[in-house]
Structure 1
Amino acid sequence: MKKTRIFAAVFGANLLFVFFNAAISWALAFFNITPYGRFVAAFFRGRTREETAARIESDRALFGSMLAEASTFANLFLTPASGFVMGLFAGAMLAEKSRLAAIWSIFAALPLSLFFLVKSGGGHERFLYLILFIAMTALGGLAGSAIFGKKKKETADVDV
């Protein structure tokens, strides 16, 4: 496996994670669904920094409870789903060997894992969220390798 292909898989997977996560977050906030979307809509959508700060200060208790719900939702569903998509991409790029695809998917997730560990709320629960994120990323790597590795093998077996 070439180093440039590995670098492209890791770099591309991280970019895909960021854009996929942002797109899903935007959609949830736009349609005002899920605890995350309701939280963003209630406190941030259509407000300037000053208006947002005033809104938060005016209803600190509601902000705290909605923030906890939104954080839990993002840690349990949003981030692992984005990790799965990231793993799919890395697994598709490195589809030759499924075990290596899963390992490289996990390596691709390491920078985001460190960020997740530092920025995620929840105390000791964040380690469980981190394990869920890494497991979903590895599953995505295996799935990407299985889906796209099969096509590569089929085309390699064809004699022209």
Structure 2
Amino acid sequence: MAKAQNIGELDQFDVRILEILSEDGRISVTELSKRVGLSKTPCQSRLKRLIDEGIILGFRAAIDPQKLGLDHVAFTEVKLSDTREKALNEFNSAVRKIREVEECHMIAGSFDYLLKVRTSDIRKYREVLGEKISSLPNVANTSTFVVMQSVKDHRPVRVDTTLL
């Protein structure tokens, strides 16, 4: 895979393609080309280039977790006992294996990682926290924040056109 371009190397057509696909990844190339304002062949070429360069990472279905009974969301702060590179790599590798952890971010602050954890209910969350998260390498302590309502959960990519 080729190295991705700098943002300055994208033009307004590339940006528009990215914005449209971030909202609807199943749009046909014909419809995409109409909405972007290009004919089908150049639009298809740009789409292929954006994929080949790793700017577009893939396409997936957006699934409603509530309809699957996964209503409980918690954010878990994790503080490690060791933050040397080896310890961080061990934690990173292990946390990727926990299915219930939807997101994991290393944080600069009073704790080391912030996890977004989705389960069916608080009982299942306690199980994941106690049996999986707390057992991760070098975990010293955790703190949990339970989501009462998700006000905005879908974040389509918006390319900063001032950088073009």
TM-score (ref. length: structure 2) = 0.26
TM-score (ref. length: structure 1) = 0.26
Point out the structure with the larger helix share: 1
Point out the structure with the larger strand share: 2
